[in-house]
Chain A
Amino acid sequence: MLLPAVRLVRLGRVPYSEFLALQDRWLRRLQAEPGTEDPPRTEAGALLLCEPAGPVYTAGLRGGLTPEEAARLRALGAEVRATGRGGLATFHGPGQLLCHPVLDLRRLRLRLRTHVAALEACAVRLCGLQGLRGARARPPPYTGVWLGERKICAIGVRCGRHITSHGLALNCCTDLTWFEHIVPCGLVGTGVTSLSQELQRHLTVDEVTPPFLEAFKETYKCTLISEDTSN
């Protein structure tokens, strides 16, 4: 049986704004063509991956950071951006695997909630592959993947006209002190963690990416087609 194909676009270490611009291009491409053949019918979209080159705090759609908080965070040397995803404030930066699947949910026959559950399952699976047992997804308002009371992976998505954007941010060797300046995802009193912190050894985004891709293919039951980054 032919599995749906998803374009794999690995950007490596790029500024977050560049990653969002690429996401926008894919969104326009997928939203503009219901029924025409670009991308071809067997393709369900693109899996965009990067490691943010610099520190950036993001707010969700109408949620997460006041102008005063934004000013304070910029003074720390971080970028501050609003996004169209769900969820509240979070941090992205070096050491973090940022994964935005831009998928046509109709072609995968998924609902938004199932897509979210699949993202969670990818992160949980990835933790398992790295030897971390006990990773679990939690329902709102604790959306994300947790080890105990520490969040290792944040999730926030958007779906417009059946096309998803944004996705998950998995801490590999993120400098977790950046999270101290916000209430992550609006959850007072909870902690954040990373694969490196939990496993007590240094894991890079490059090291984590291949098992993550395996987890993605298994979870979404798709194949990944490499795409050069000129798109």
Chain B
Amino acid sequence: MLRTRPNLLSVHKFVEKHEWVIAESGIGAVGTSNFAQGAFRDVVYCSLSEIGKKLNKQDELGALKSVKTASELYFPLSGEVTDQVFPVNTGLVHKSCYEDAWPTLGNTSEVDELRMKKRIRNRQHLLKSESGTS
């Protein structure tokens, strides 16, 4: 379900271009792309949804503010916030816990991310067409 907002189209573009999801056994992590976090270079504030909050596609997950711009973070999938870390490193917002499968130093997560980005780009074309018909 998409909420109607005046800037929905630009937000949706943000979602399409700048957010990625890694899915591993049904557990996902959400983040912003290098491009987006580069645009928010001097992040001064980051807020995240509280743990336990259930989110629908396009719900507001949190907010990033830099000295120059502000934007909400939108969630490209449905789910529930289960984990948070503090401080938050710019470029990463976490949706769920990996249990024992925490990314370790020197693993191939960068490659996995690229693979997922391709998959997600396809999926987000689906999202875009959904919003076009709703």
B-binding residues in A (CB < 8 A): 59-63, 65-67, 70, 80-88, 111-113, 116, 140-141, 143, 155-162
Chain A residues within 8 Å of B89, by CB: 60-63, 86-88
Contact with A along B60-98 (1 / 0, CB 8 A): 000000000000000000000011111111001010011
Which chain A residue lies CB-closest to B89?
Answer: A63
A80 contacts which chain B residues (CB < 8 A)? 105
A159, B102: Cβ atoms closer than 8 Å:
no
Q: Which residues of A contact B83 (CB under 8 A)?
A: 158-161
Q: CB-CB < 8 A to B26: which residues of A?
A: none
Binary flags per residue of B9-33, CB closer than 8 Å to A gives 1, else 0:
0000000000000000000000000
Chain A positions within 8 Å of B98 at CB level: 84
* Residues of B in contact with A (beta carbons under 8 Å apart): 43, 46, 50-52, 82-89, 92, 94, 97-98, 102-106, 109
Interface contacts (Cβ under 8 Å), in number, total 83
CA of A65 to CA of B106, assembled, Å: 9
Inter-chain contacts of A143 with B (CB < 8 A): 86-87
Cβ-defined contact, B51 with A159, below 8 A:
yes
With A61-B94, A159-B51 already in contact, the answer to whether A112 and B84 are too (CB < 8 A) is yes
B interface secondary structure, majority: loop
Are A61 and B104 in contact (CB-based, < 8 A)? no
Residues on the A chain within 8 Å of B92, using CB: 61-63
Pick the contact of A161 from B51, B85, B102 — CB < 8 Å?
A: B51
Which residues of chain A are near B104, meaning CB under 8 Å?
A: 82
Instruction: Report the bound CA distance from A66 to B107 in whole Å.
Output: 10
Whole-angstrom distance between the alpha carbons of A113 and B48 in the complex?
A: 10
Cross-chain contact B87 with A141 (CB below 8 angstroms): yes
**In whole angstroms, how far apart are the Cα atoms of A148 and B133 in the complex?**
57
Q: Given that A111-B50, A140-B46 are contacting pairs, would A85 and B105 also be in contact in the complex, using a CB cutoff of 8 Å?
A: no
State whether B87 touches A61 (Cβ < 8 A).
no
Given A111-B50, A140-B87, A143-B87, output 11 extra A-B contacts at Cβ < 8 Å: A63-B89, A81-B105, A82-B102, A83-B102, A84-B97, A86-B88, A112-B84, A116-B86, A159-B84, A160-B83, A162-B52
